[in-house]
Amino acid sequence: MPDADLLMPDVDFAYDDVPDLHERIVQLRQNGPVVPVRYHGDRTWLILDHELVKQAFEDYDHFDPAPGYQQIAAPSMGQTIQTMSGDEHRISRGLVTAPFLPSKIRSLVEDLIEPIANELLDRVAGKEVVDLVSTFTRPYPFMVITRLLGIPVEDEERMLEWAIKMIDFPWDPDGAVRAKEQFQAYMQTIIDDRRANPTGDFMSMLVQAEYEGERLSDERILGFVGLLFPAGSDTTYKNAGSLFACVLADPALRERALRSPRDRELIVTESLRWQPPTAFLPRMASNDVELGNVQIRKGEWTLFGITAANADPKVYPDPHRFDPDRDNRDILTFGRSKHFCLGMHLARRELETALRLVFERFPHMVLEKGEPVEFVGAVLRGPRALHVRPYGQREDQN
Amino acid sequence: MRVTFFDINGAAQHVEGRAGENAMECAKRNAIDGIIGECGGAMACATCHAYVDPRWIARLDPPEHQERDMIDGCIDVRPESRLTCQVILEDALDGIVFTVPDSQV
Ligand code: HEM
């Protein structure tokens, strides 16, 4: 493909850290709503405009996500709701939806989410300086998923190794496939157990689910639970980091974070708008299409510029200001339409719970001076690390 | 056509609905608090739940089973619960009344 017209040819959005992503988006926008950039070495269309990203999400004739996920995810993950379309997707999604709906997720806050957050925050307690990402925000959503799946605590470590390896397919295909086989063999024992003795837990809900006369085969359950790790863990932890980076930097926000559940909802939502973990979402065009005066061919890759859409000044005035009180009902952080994020309620309750517990337990927590926070990544974006002092600055350091 | 949204404390907002749009879109266009509709009307997010005034329920087609399943997972569900994205406004619904629940989550 010709590279001559590439904008910012020095950057590859698949590999580079792009710490200045927001500034680059502002520059790119001057060239139109859909612009050619480099991604995995090739020219790729980046969609920047809120209305166009929304429209593309809703356009299954030209941007059906399934064919693209067949290429990039199915080889290591198998068939999942991401690789399906039409009725197959509707029914398969219908079978797994119930455990992710608001009433179910609300009941998980006290029973599952809070205890995990507290357990991890115990490791922050007593420390003078600590990286909040590696001690808290990264393991937290991962543990929510393993405990949701009924995996015993002593096996969490193994599970983490498999989960990391499974998404390593592009770099280590054999290792990824081996990890998937080990993961599936392990999960099969839990499925067998719940089929024999349903307990009402998450896995029991899956094995008993029925939708339009269909039930989930073991293979479908294995594909689905495998998807939960990349979809629900890597995303949520990146956002948790961005959320704390923001709130720790602003005393007014920190004070507000302790005020009410509604205030926490608003702060979390604004952090999701401002620094979405799925900054640019790769999507293959499933048919020829014209978008924003650009001709896109079937099979070409695009990037849905979620971060750019969420900062489109036509929809979000003064977009770089962090303002929890703006109208954020149409942020595109969780996607849009039929493949809209299934775990949105879970992710939000995790983030709101983290926000409350961190500042209840460590009201004086501050960012370590001299360790500036660096946000990295254009596909999955968040702070590399967050060095904090849980008990604030010592007197002699002020 | 007129559409009324009550909040949970009984305060009413009367807005102009457009025939053909759904009640979620109407609520968002008129900045009605508490109707979010983040998935855009695909019954995928469960954040546009509201109560239809019982006097209007009979004039609506009952929910299809996908909507029913989503409603079952909402908070503070009542017999007159609906996803507003599935209520298409039309002239016969001129004057319809909704109450927005305390919270979607
Ligand atoms: C802040 C955290 C999260 C963000 C930003 C996020 C974002 C997204 C986005 C953008 C999509 C749509 C992808 C597409 O259209 O191709 C998606 C889908 C999905 N997400 Fe999330 N997600 C988050 C957390 C979670 C969690 C916690 C879970 C579950 C444990 C989860 C499970 C899923 C699943 C299963 C899908 C596929 C839905 C389908 O294809 O029908 N996500 N997510």
- Ligand 1 mean position to A341 CA, how many Å? 4
By three-state DSSP, how is residue B2 classified?
A: strand
**Residue A77: its pLDDT value, please?**
84
CB A267 within 8 A of CB A355: yes
Model confidence pLDDT, tens digit, residues A86-143: 999 999 999 999 999 999 999 999 999 999 999 999 999 999 999 999 999 999 999 9
Ligand 1 pocket, A332 CB below 6 A?
Answer: no
- Give the separation between CA A189 and CA A196, rounded to whole angstroms: 11
Ligand 1 pocket, A319 CB below 6 A?
Answer: no
**Residue A395: its pLDDT value, please?**
60
At A227, which amino acid appears? L
- Give the separation between CA A289 and CA A297, rounded to whole angstroms: 6
Exposed (0-12), middle (13-18) or buried (19+): which is A3, by Cβ within 10 Å?
Answer: exposed
- Give the separation between CA B53 and CA A353, rounded to whole angstroms: 34
Ligand 1 pocket, A342 CB below 6 A?
Answer: yes
**Residue A397: its pLDDT value, please?**
53
How much is the pTM?
Answer: 0.97
ipTM score assigned to the predicted complex: 0.97
- Give the separation between CA A75 and CA A69, rounded to whole angstroms: 9
* Ramachandran assignment for A333, one of left (phi > 0), alpha (psi -120 to 50 degrees), beta (any other): alpha
**Residue A4: its pLDDT value, please?**
64
- Give the separation between CA A43 and CA A35, rounded to whole angstroms: 10
Nearest atom in ligand 1 to A89's CA: 41
Helix axes A156-166, A173-196, angle to 10 degrees: 130
Longest alpha-carbon distance in chain B: 32
- Give the separation between CA A11 and CA A57, rounded to whole angstroms: 25
Model confidence pLDDT, tens digit, residues A135-167: 999 999 999 999 999 999 999 999 988 988 887
**Residue A271: its pLDDT value, please?**
98
Terminal Cα distance for chain B, rounded: 30
Ligand 1 pocket, A335 CB below 6 A?
Answer: yes
Comparing CB atoms, the residue among A98, A103, A336 nearest residue B75 is A103
Q: Which residue of A has its CA nearest to B34?
A: A329
Q: Which residues of B touch A348 (CB under 8 A)?
A: 105
CB A397 within 8 A of CB A144: no
Q: Which residue of A has its CA nearest to B70?
A: A101
- Which of A53, A235, A268 to probe ligand 1 with, by most ligand atoms within 8 A of CB? A235
Please compute the mean of the pLDDT values over residues B7-13 and round it to a whole number: 94
**Residue A1: its pLDDT value, please?**
45
Q: Do B73 and A104 touch (CB under 8 A)?
A: yes
**CA angle, A359 then A362 then A365, to 5°:** 95
Would the pLDDT of B60 be above 80? yes
Residues of chain A under the 50 pLDDT cut: 1, 398
**Residue A169: its pLDDT value, please?**
74
Output the six-digit token pair for A280.
């640019």
**Residue A7: its pLDDT value, please?**
96
Tokens 């005066």 correspond to what residue?
A293
By three-state DSSP, how is residue A127 classified?
A: coil
Q: Which residues of B touch A93 (CB under 8 A)?
A: 44
In sequence order, the β-bridge partners of residue A301 are: A284
* Backbone torsions φ then ψ of A49, nearest 5 degrees: -85, 135
Please compute the mean of the pLDDT values over residues B57-72 and round it to a whole number: 95
Query: What residue owns the CA closest to ligand 1's atom 32?
Result: A343
Residues counted in chain B: 105
Asked if A325 is an interface residue toward chain B (Cβ–Cβ < 8 A), one would say no
Contacts of A128 (CB under 8 A, 6+ apart): A389, A390, A391
- Ligand 1 mean position to A334 CA, how many Å? 6
